[in-house]
Structure formats: C-alpha cells, structure tokens
C-alpha cells in the first residue's frame, strides 16, 4: 500500500463538474488518491476492494466526458460503484462505508440522484438502460442529431456478468434501438471468482490474439466480411482514426446489431477520454470493450483478486507483526469466528467423500458459498456455472434426472433468479434437487439488495418441497445429511451470513425427522413457547435465559421445518393454553410464522395466541447484521420484551377471569 497521505483533490469534489477543469496530470493524481482512500477504508470496514480498484480511470473518464446529472448511467451488479460515488460528492460518506448513515456498498438512489437504481444482482443494466433509452426517446428527451442536448445512455457491465441470461436478452433488444446507446464492457478477466464457460474463453482469445495491427486491418476489411457495410461507414464517419483502429472483426456482439470497439486499455486515461468523446456522438448502439486489471494498483489485490473481491477488514504488516502501509509487506485478513459458510464447505466435503453420487454446484460464488473447499478434491463432481443461477438450477435438475444427488449452493437473494427453474424443471418433475441457501435473512453491510428475505415464501408454494433452517453447525450437518437421503422432491436449508453459535454445542444434535421440531428447553408449566426458525433459535435462547432469571418459564424449540410444520407440537401447545411466539429472520409475509398459521387453519386450530416475530414488510438498509436484527425486534432483548408483554397480558386476563362471578 502507498504511504498514507491526506488527499488534496478528492475532498474538493462535490460533483463531476470539477473533473472537466483538471489537467491530465491532476486526473492521474486524483486516481491515485481514490485508490488510496478506497483501500484504506475497505481495510478498516471490509467491502468490495478489487472490483473498485480496477475501474478508477474508467470512472474518471466516464464522468469527464458525460454529464450524468443529465445523461443516464446504469450499473450492472453495482459493486464497482465506489469510484463513481467518490466522483459524485460522496467522499464524506466513505468513512462509514456500508454503515446505516454512511456510503452504501451498491448504487442507492436514496443517497444521490446520480444513482438511478438500487442494484446488486447481475445482468440488469443493459435491460434497464434500454428501457430508459426508449422512455427518453418517447418523452422527446433522447439524444440524437436532431436533439444534441438530449440525454445519452451508458451502461457499464463487468465482472463476467455479461454471461448472465438477462444480459443476453438485453443485448438482443438493444440492437434494435435506432439511437445512441453505449454499453461499456469492463473486462477484467474475472468475475467474483475465475470466470467460467465459453464466453470467458472467447474474451481470453480476444485479449491474447488480436493486436493493435490486427484491429486496424479488421476495421478496413470489416465491410467485406459482414452484412451492413453502411455501419462501418458510419463508424469511420463518427469515430476518429484512433477508434477506427480498434473496431473488431468477427466480434461476438456484432451479431446482436451492436458495433463493437476494443479492447482498449482501461487504465490509459487520455485514450479512454478520447474514445468516449468520440463514442458519445455515435447515434446507434455500441459496445466499448475495455480491458482492466482487477485490484489495479495493489499487488496483493491484483495477485489474488478473488480473495480481495470483497474481503473482511485486513491489515498490512511486516514480519514482526507491526502494522504498516508499505507495498512490500504481508497482508493479513482479520480473522473472525467460524462461519456457516466455512462449516458448510467442510460438511459438503465430508458428505462427498462418503457418498460418490453427491455432486455440487455454485453460480460464480465458490468462496462465498464454501464450495471452493471441495472444487479441487472433486473436480469432476463440482461445477461453477458462472453468474447463471437459472442455468445452474436446470443443470442440477438434469443431474438429478440421471440419478445423481445434486446440491446447489447459492445465496438466498440469488435463488430468486432461478425460481422458475425450481418450479418447472425440479418440483414439477418431482426431482430431488437440494438447495443450500447461504446469506439467508439479514446480510449486514450489503443491505437491501442482498437480504435473503423471501426464500420460504417462494419455495413453500411448491408441492412436496421440504424447507429447513439450521441454527448452528451440528444442525446444519444434520440437515444436509437429511437432504442427501430425501428423494420426494426439492429440499432446501437456509443459514445466515454469520458465525456459528456454540450455545448448544454440549448437547447431542438428533437427526432431522420430516416435519418434527427439536425441544431445547422445557418446563412443566411453561408460560410461553418460543418456536425459533434457524439462528433465531439462538436469539430466542438468549431471551429465555434472561426471562428465566426473572422467573418467567419459556419453553424453547428449534422448529427445523417450515414445510412441513410440526403441527402436532403446535396443536399440543395450543391445547394446553400455552401462548406461542414464532421467530424468524425472513419476511413476515409468507415466512415460517405464516406457514404455522396456514397449518393451524387447515387443522382448525385456534391461532389467537400465536404471535409472529419476523422481518417487517419494508426495506431495511445497510448496517451491521446485529443492528438490523435489533432495529426490527428480532434480537434477544426485543424477544424478551415481547414475551414479558404476552405473559403480563395472559396473567391479567387470568386474574380478570377469576374475579368474574359464576353465572
């Protein structure tokens, strides 16, 4: 890391307007200041490091050339937006990156009018940009030769999200536009992990084989080799000599009707600015292929851009452990307690060792889901599809159809992209596809774009689906073992982005039995029963301890299943007059508590004394996970407070009943 110095240009930027008055040397100084500021902050708070270091010059060039207070800028995925935010006046928010009152880690319209969408999923930028381009044209506000002051549209897509199916659909439609439309492909040779598939191989071939001279030759010969030679004439007319040299022959994007320029050096500021100045006047859809280095400027991030894609806080130290900031020193990620992700990777590895029919898959998240722990051990049985959740789920269905036991490890928020495949190719066919849903519930600093809040609501609609949650590592292991032998249909287990708890580590964890809860704390005369789902059991356990010290007897159950619900347990508690509180880290709409109420309705069970605690019907933004739980009343203190309220109400009701004279 470079030595820490106080930035001189960055704090003065309140809008991109200042960029247009800076010299090229000053812009380079600004780029260095931005990299230092981003790296220093991410080292303290965690966040997306390597993707943002790679787009510093590109972000400066875009904001120098375009006026995105007027023009449209759409981000894909969005985790490469830190430089954009610094250039749009948000440097004061950087010190609280990913905290509630600081800078969000993704584009956030609540933060600035320069951010058009809250976005954290891949593949969306081109399609939303096409929509805005059409909308501006219909409003008479789109850029054209006849309306030179109209709005231009730019979408930036990178980290291999171009392979996403929605991006393909967007490209297909973008080619029909008859106006300015620029897609900037940030090609850094990486996604979150090593990119997968034929598209990645194609870009590797382009980067390695096509020299500057070949591009010049291709530009001259292009009209002889493809239909629409008029497009080439327009390129020569609209673009300068430099850009003509980069027009690519036999480019994949040409088949979508988009003229393609590049690849160009994404760290050469003068060239980027010149090319963008020419491209902004081109009045038909274009792809600008920009080659960048993920982690640019820091050898440790460039050399291991997967680890430093979104690292936890880290420090740079010398051999004596002294914290420094010099580039030649050792980088150490700050260690945290054992995570569910790490536990799952070990559990999956053990299962695959014992059962040769188990196969596993991830969609570009081998580290984020723990699947990286088994990729090298079982290279023929572990697959990374890239950012293609829909394809991954269908592929798992195909494997199930041929007799294998597929486990798809995916973030809860990204499972939404494959729900149609869960329905059509898995559940409808009765195939035992197994879903391991990491990042379920609140995710902390990534905020609303990544919360896993609707997996139960979606999957519970599927006939014969079996839905589970893990409260700790032993229960996660037991759930995975159960899934390995569950053949009746789709199954899923959810667990959060959090550390595993040792609260019940001293107790044997019984195997999962379909639709049966596990009793953890029982009293002869309980005043309330807490039915926790997933890690909410741990928070409920803390509350039960607090209540016990006050003389309040609270039974505690690990519900384990949202479908099928342990309705016999619920019926027994209701029959005994024990109030029930369901607790979950999922939306109150369609979650575990809703499943309990529905099951009661089917049995004709009185639900008046069932209270649901869950994520509210509203958006919760970035911050620490424990803060988010406290904010919505799902931490131990809030659970205990709700129980006191229920017990007090029940007690006063009993006293009133005893005081009433008999008829």
Active site (annotated) includes residue 294: yes
Which one from 35, 98, 152, 294 is the annotated catalytic residue?
294
Active site (annotated) includes residue 560: no
DSSP string, 299-366: HHHHHTTTTTTSPPSEEEE-TT--EE--TTSEEEEPP-SPBHHHHHHHHHHHHHHH-TTEEEEESS-H
DSSP string, 251-306: -GGGGGT-EEEEEEETT-HHHHHHHHHHHTT--SEEEEEEE--TTTT-HHHHHTTT
**Structure tokens, 102:** 């600081």
Torsion over CA of 283, 289, 295 and 298, rounded to 10 degrees? -90
How far is C-alpha 103 from the chain's CA centre? 17
Which one from 111, 249, 254, 389 is the annotated catalytic residue?
389
**Distance between first and last Cα of the chain:** 84
d(CA 614, CA 593): 8
d(CA 571, CA 569): 5
d(CA 477, CA 495): 12
d(CA 635, CA 628): 9
Which one from 151, 244, 417, 439 is the annotated catalytic residue?
417
- Do residues 54 and 293 lie in contact, with contact meaning Cβ atoms separated by under 8 Å? yes
Active site (annotated) includes residue 151: no
Residue 116 CB coordination number (10 Å): 18
Q: Are strands 561-563 and 466-469 parallel, antiparallel or unpaired?
A: antiparallel
**Locate tokens 């050096």: which residue?**
265
**Would you tell me the crossing angle of helices 56-65 and 24-45 to the nearest 10 degrees?**
130
What are the backbone dihedrals phi and psi of residue 354, each rounded to the nearest 5 degrees, phi first? -85, -25
- Residues 570, 591, 407, 369, CA torsion sign: negative
- Residues 188, 439, 343, 479, CA torsion sign: negative
Identify which of 78, 80, 2, 76 has the alpha carbon closest to the alpha carbon of residue 37: 2
- Active-site annotation, residues: 294, 389, 417
């Amino acid at each position: 890391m470079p030595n820490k110095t106080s930035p001189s240009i960055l704090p003065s930027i309140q809008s991109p307007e200042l960029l247009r008055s800076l010299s090229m040397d000053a812009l380079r100084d600004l780029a260095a200041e931005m990299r230092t500021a981003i790296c220093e902050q991410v080292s303290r708070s965690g966040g997306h490091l390597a993707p943002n270091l790679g787009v510093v010059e590109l972000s400066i060039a875009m904001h120098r050339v375009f006026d995105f207070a007027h023009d449209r800028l759409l981000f894909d995925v969005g985790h490469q937006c830190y430089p954009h935010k610094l250039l749009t006046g948000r440097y004061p928010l950087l010190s609280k990156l990913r905290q509630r009152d600081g800078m969000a880690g993704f584009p956030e319209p609540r933060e600035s009018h320069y951010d058009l969408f809250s976005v954290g999923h891949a593949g969306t930028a081109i399609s939303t940009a096409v929509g805005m381009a059409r909308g501006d044209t219909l409003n008479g506000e789109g850029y054209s030769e006849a309306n030179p002051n109209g709005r231009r549209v730019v979408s930036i897509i990178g980290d291999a999200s171009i392979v996403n199916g929605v991006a393909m659909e967007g490209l297909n439609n973008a080619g029909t536009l008859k106006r300015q439309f620029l897609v900037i492909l940030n090609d850094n040779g990486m996604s979150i992990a090593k990119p997968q598939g034929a598209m990645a191989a194609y870009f590797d071939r382009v980067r390695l084989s096509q020299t500057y001279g070949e591009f010049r030759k291709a530009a001259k010969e292009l009209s002889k080799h493809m239909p629409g030679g008029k497009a080439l004439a327009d390129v020569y007319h609209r673009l300068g000599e430099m850009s003509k040299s980069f027009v690519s022959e036999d480019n994949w994007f040409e088949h979508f009707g988009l003229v393609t320029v590049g690849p160009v050096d994404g760290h050469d500021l003068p060239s980027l600015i010149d090319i963008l100045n020419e491209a902004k006047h081109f009045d038909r859809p274009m792809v600008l292929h920009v080659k960048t280095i993920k982690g640019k400027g820091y050898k440790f991030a460039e050399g291991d851009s997967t680890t430093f894609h979104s690292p936890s806080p880290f420090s740079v130290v010398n051999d004596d452990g002294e914290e420094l900031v010099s580039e030649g020193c050792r980088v150490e990620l700050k260690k945290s307690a054992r995570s569910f992700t790490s536990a799952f990777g070990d559990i999956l590895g053990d299962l695959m060792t014992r059962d040769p029919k188990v196969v596993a898959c991830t969609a570009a998240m081998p580290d984020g889901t723990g699947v990286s722990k088994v990729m090298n051990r079982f290279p023929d049985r572990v697959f990374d599809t890239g950012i293609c959740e829909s394809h991954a789920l269908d592929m798992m269905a195909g494997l199930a159809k041929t007799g294998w036991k597929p486990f798809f490890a995916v973030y809860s928020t990204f499972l939404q992209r494959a729900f149609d495949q869960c329905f059509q190719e898995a559940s409808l066919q009765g195939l035992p596809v197994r879903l391991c849903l990491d990042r379920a519930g609140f995710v902390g600093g990534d905020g609303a774009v990544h919360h896993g809040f609707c997996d139960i609501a979606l999957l519970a609609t599927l006939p014969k689906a079996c839905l589970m949650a893990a409260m700790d590592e032993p229960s996660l292991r037991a759930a995975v073992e159960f899934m390995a032998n569950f053949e009746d249909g789709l199954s899923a287990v959810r667990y959060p982005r959090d550390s595993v708890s040792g609260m019940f580590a001293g107790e044997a964890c019984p195997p999962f039995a379909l639709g049966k809860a596990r009793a953890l704390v029982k009293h002869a005369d309980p005043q309330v029963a807490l039915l926790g789902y997933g890690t909410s059991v741990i928070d409920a356990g803390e509350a039960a301890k607090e209540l016990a010290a006050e003389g309040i007897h609270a039974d505690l159950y690990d519900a384990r299943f949202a479908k099928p619900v342990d309705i016999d347990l619920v019926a027994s508690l209701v029959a005994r007059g024990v109030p029930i509180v369901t607790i979950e880290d999922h939306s109150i709409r369609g979650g575990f508590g809703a499943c309990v109420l529905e099951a009661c309705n089917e049995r004709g069970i009185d639900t008046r004394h069932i209270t649901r605690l869950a994520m509210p019907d509203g958006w919760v933004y970035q911050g620490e996970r424990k803060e988010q739980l406290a904010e919505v009343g799902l931490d131990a203190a809030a659970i205990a407070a709700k129980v006191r309220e229920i017990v007090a109400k029940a007690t006063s009701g009993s006293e009133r009943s005893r005081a009433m004279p008999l008829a």
